[in-house]
Amino acid sequence: MRRYRIRKDESCILCLRCSRECSFGAIEVKDGKALLFNHEKCTDCQRCVTFCPTGAIYITEDENRFRENSVFKDDDIKEIILQAKTKGVLLSSMGAQGKNIPIYFDKILLNASQVTNPSIDPLREPMETSVFIGARPAKIERDANGKIVDNLPPHLELKTPIMFSAMSYGAISLNVHKALASASEALGTYWNTGEGGLHESLYKYKRNTIVQVASGRFGVHETYLNTAEAIEIKIGQGAKPGIGGHLTGKKIVGDVSKTRMVPEGLDAISPAPHHDIYSIEDLAQLVMSIKEATHFRKAVIVKVAAVHNIAPIASGIARSGADIIAIDGYRGGTGAAPKRIRDNVGIPIELAIASVDERLREEKIRDRVSIVASGGIRNSADVFKAIALGADAVSIGTAALCALGCHICASCHTGKCAWGIATQDPKLMERLDPEKGAEHLVNLVSAWTSEIKEIMGGMGINSIEALRGNKMALRGVDMNEKELEILGIKYAGE
């Protein structure tokens, strides 16, 4: 399918760097001195553009379009032709691209102090961005001597309310895991292994690691469960609610095969359901068996995709014994998902956070669990709004990958990532320096944290925990009454 067109201008010095950088075979060298462009192989990942020393290369949308039609767009026709030829389910990656599904974060405005309540200067005053996530005891208990009984359930302490989302070893390279792990250590937050197991070289980051248990149970064993501060049971993810994982055989090589315990070169499947979970009671059983295996010292997270009945689902999870609910919204990313599912299934995270928070408060079980939101968080304002809507913390995946060089070309499933992120090709993996990557991640999250402090100061609050579920800090624009009702916020001007 030709989507893009590669061009060069007269400033090209024929250094052939672009052809060396292109991992998709879109730029070839002819007779050692001329460039041959295979436009149909280009994914617009911008690697060649970034590395061209003279800025001679251009990638544009192919201007040869199908005749304009108000119903069948260019992509629609191209996909029909592809499926007519291949009989295949369309496979893509990264987050949903449903063009008419609103991003509610963009329709929400924040408040600030004026005259009657003074704002705070975060450069002068201390600002608390630490959050504790996990179950909270219903009341403070004291023993006979008046000493506080220290019976806190296991919880996670985050220096900033931003964690890194689950991205599996196999889907992304070991260097990315290294960067995420060491950045988490430096930031005092957590990274998540995803469902592909944990490489032994990363065991040392135990105190900043969340390990995941998914339906494929890849890399799950007693040591794995205990080499983390929390264990996440993945039921679903925002990019593909209701279906399992699929890792292309091209990415199952060497240590990925060993860590997952699946054969090299064969596509690996994570079944759609956990075959031992058919009810909340079954979920409770898995939660408790993980707690048994970890001596009741680790928090258990249950991750679900934001779907239509997310509020009662979250209520069930809260009653299953889990300490934290992670909700991944419609726009959440992935390393591979059927395109129709990615773009058509699930609901935006903003609505899910608000309705879950509301439901758990109504049922008086909000303190039994913390809520972690993810799925298309792009900047510190999104983090701030998610917390004000009712989340305790957020996770970022796509944004973190962008800090490492990702240009969201949505080709993760090919295993040929030119930026060395979503690949297991040793030559491509070298392109990402984990130390430099970690530095970028630390910079990004630190910058967001500073911005969050500034917004907090402007609002006159000095602790991020005071913001959780504080919907008076938000106003909506361009929304109907139903949307405002679900979000629990007022219209701007009210």
Which of 5, 17, 258, 471 is the binder for another protein (CB under 8 A)? 258
Which of 54, 289, 309, 443 is the binder for another protein (CB under 8 A)? 289
| Greatest C-alpha distance within the chain | 88
Provide the minimum distance between the beta carbon of 365 and another protein in the complex, in angstroms, as a whole number: 16
- Please, which residue, 416 or 453, has the CB nearer to another protein? 416
Q: Which stretch binds another protein (CB under 8 A): 12-20, 62-70, 257-265, 380-388?
A: 257-265
Provide the minimum distance between the beta carbon of 269 and another protein in the complex, in angstroms, as a whole number: 6
Q: Which stretch binds another protein (CB under 8 A): 244-252, 325-333, 394-402, 422-430?
A: 244-252
> In whole angstroms, what is the distance from residue 211 CA to residue 17 CA?
39
Provide the minimum distance between the beta carbon of 362 and another protein in the complex, in angstroms, as a whole number: 24
Paired tokens of 59: 């990638």
Nearest CA to 193 among 270, 206, 328? 206
Roughly what angle, to the nearest 10 degrees, separates helices 310-318 and 280-293? 40
At which residue do the structure tokens 């984990």 appear? 434
38, with CB counted inside 10 A (0-12, 13-18, 19+), is middle
256, with CB counted inside 10 A (0-12, 13-18, 19+), is buried
Instruction: Give yes or no for residue 285 binding another protein (CB under 8 A).
Output: yes
Q: Which stretch binds another protein (CB under 8 A): 10-18, 105-113, 262-270, 384-392?
A: 262-270
Instruction: Give yes or no for residue 7 binding another protein (CB under 8 A).
Output: no
Taking CB under 8 A as the criterion, which residues in 167-226 touch another protein?
213, 215-217, 220-223, 225
- Please, which residue, 32 or 88, has the CB nearer to another protein? 88
Taking CB under 8 A as the criterion, which residues in 220-239 touch another protein?
220-223, 225
Q: Which stretch binds another protein (CB under 8 A): 188-196, 260-268, 305-313, 433-441?
A: 260-268
Instruction: Give yes or no for residue 276 binding another protein (CB under 8 A).
Output: yes
Instruction: Give yes or no for residue 344 binding another protein (CB under 8 A).
Output: no
At which residue do the structure tokens 């304009």 appear? 68
Q: What is the DSSP string of 111-154?
A: ----TTS----TTTS--B--EEEE---SS--B-TTSPBP--PPP
Q: Are 399 and 119 in contact (CB under 8 A)?
A: no
Taking CB under 8 A as the criterion, which residues in 318-337 touch another protein?
321
Question: Going by C-beta distance under 8 Å and a sequence separation of 6 or more, which residues neighbour residue 301?
Answer: 210, 230, 231, 232, 233, 322, 323, 324, 325, 326, 372
Which of 257, 334, 370, 380 is the binder for another protein (CB under 8 A)? 257
> In whole angstroms, what is the distance from residue 214 CA to residue 275 CA?
11
How many residues sit close enough to another protein to count as binding (CB under 8 A)? 50
> In whole angstroms, what is the distance from residue 199 CA to residue 434 CA?
15
> What torsion, rounded to 10 degrees, do the Cα atoms 410, 412, 413, 415 define?
140
- Please, which residue, 184 or 215, has the CB nearer to another protein? 215
Paired tokens of 208: 């900043």
- Please, which residue, 216 or 333, has the CB nearer to another protein? 216
Instruction: Give yes or no for residue 295 binding another protein (CB under 8 A).
Output: yes
Which of 246, 366, 407, 468 is the binder for another protein (CB under 8 A)? 246
Q: Which stretch binds another protein (CB under 8 A): 60-68, 148-156, 269-277, 345-353?
A: 269-277
Taking CB under 8 A as the criterion, which residues in 72-91 touch another protein?
79, 82-83, 86-91
Paired tokens of 210: 């969340």
Which of 98, 102, 154, 249 is the binder for another protein (CB under 8 A)? 249
> In whole angstroms, what is the distance from residue 297 CA to residue 493 CA?
48
Q: Which stretch binds another protein (CB under 8 A): 12-20, 108-116, 241-249, 447-455?
A: 241-249
Binding mask 409-448 for another protein (x = CB under 8 A): ----xx----------------------------------
Could you write out the three-class secondary structure of 338-364?
Answer: EHHHHHHCCCCHHHHHHHHHHHHHHCC
Q: Are 212 and 164 in contact (CB under 8 A)?
A: no
- Please, which residue, 221 or 490, has the CB nearer to another protein? 221
Which of 18, 127, 262, 474 is the binder for another protein (CB under 8 A)? 262
- Please, which residue, 93 or 192, has the CB nearer to another protein? 93
Instruction: Give yes or no for residue 271 binding another protein (CB under 8 A).
Output: yes
Q: What is the DSSP string of 377-416?
A: --SHHHHHHHHHHT-SEEEESHHHHHHTT----S-GGGTB
- Please, which residue, 282 or 483, has the CB nearer to another protein? 282
> In whole angstroms, what is the distance from residue 351 CA to residue 104 CA?
8
> In whole angstroms, what is the distance from residue 448 CA to residue 458 CA?
15
Which of 22, 24, 59, 92 is the binder for another protein (CB under 8 A)? 92
Query: What's CA 132's distance to the chain center, in Å?
Result: 20
- Please, which residue, 160 or 215, has the CB nearer to another protein? 215
Instruction: Give yes or no for residue 298 binding another protein (CB under 8 A).
Output: no
Q: Which residues bind another protein (CB under 8 A)?
A: 1, 79, 82-83, 86-92, 213, 215-217, 220-223, 225, 246, 248-249, 257-258, 260-263, 266-269, 271, 275-276, 281, 284-286, 288-289, 292-293, 295, 321, 338-339, 413-414
